[in-house]
């Protein structure tokens, strides 16, 4: 939500599709978007005709844990894509690298905004944890 606010993206009146139903990411993000007056759809990897559902999103938040699941064909042109998925995949050289749930290169060409993996939601999560810790301390020790 803080990333959306930073880029002045107001969820109010927009259709938001949260792709994932976990208790750690999917459900909390859906509730926060709902609180911000978005129309929220929660989908998951077993949703029938998933591409049609994701193409309806003005704001798409994939958080499934399947590398490259979301392709350009699944994204509405101009959509905001906040990739929360984090997956470690093997490289041909025998190492590994982190990727998101979104095929970044293809989706970046049509999205108005997109978060990278790594370097997007992960560092923001750490920053917000520190922010909330300092805020909480301030509430108890004015």
pLDDT digits (tens, 9 = 90+) for 80-101: 999 999 999 999 999 999 999 9
User: Looking at residue 142, what is its pLDDT?
Assistant: 81
What are the structural domains of the chain? 2-140 (3.40.50.720)
Mean of pLDDT over the chain = 96
User: Looking at residue 45, what is its pLDDT?
Assistant: 84
> Which residues is 60 bridged to in the sheet?
17, 81
User: Looking at residue 110, what is its pLDDT?
Assistant: 98
The per-residue pLDDT for range 3-57, each reduced to its tens digit, is: 999 999 999 999 999 999 999 999 999 999 999 999 999 999 899 999 999 999 9
pTM: 0.92
**113-120 contact pairs (CB < 8 A, 24+):** 113/7, 113/9, 113/80, 113/81, 114/80, 114/81, 114/83, 115/3, 115/81, 115/82, 115/83, 116/83, 117/83, 117/85, 117/86, 118/86, 120/3, 120/82, 120/83
């Amino acid at each position: 939500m803080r990333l959306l606010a930073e880029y002045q993206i107001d969820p109010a009146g927009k259709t938001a599709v949260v792709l994932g139903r976990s208790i750690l990411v999917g459900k909390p993000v859906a509730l926060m978007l709902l609180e911000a007056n978005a129309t929220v759809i929660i989908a998951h990897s077993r949703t029938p005709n998933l591409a049609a559902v994701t193409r309806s999103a003005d704001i798409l938040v994939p958080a499934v844990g399947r590398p490259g699941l979301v392709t350009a064909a699944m994204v509405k042109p101009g959509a905001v894509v906040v990739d929360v998925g984090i997956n470690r995949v093997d490289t041909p050289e025998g190492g590994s690298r982190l990727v998101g749930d979104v095929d970044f290169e293809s989706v970046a060409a049509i999205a108005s905004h997109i978060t990278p993996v790594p370097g997007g939601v992960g560092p923001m999560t750490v920053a917000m944890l520190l922010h909330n810790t300092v805020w909480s301390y301030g509430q108890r020790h004015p």
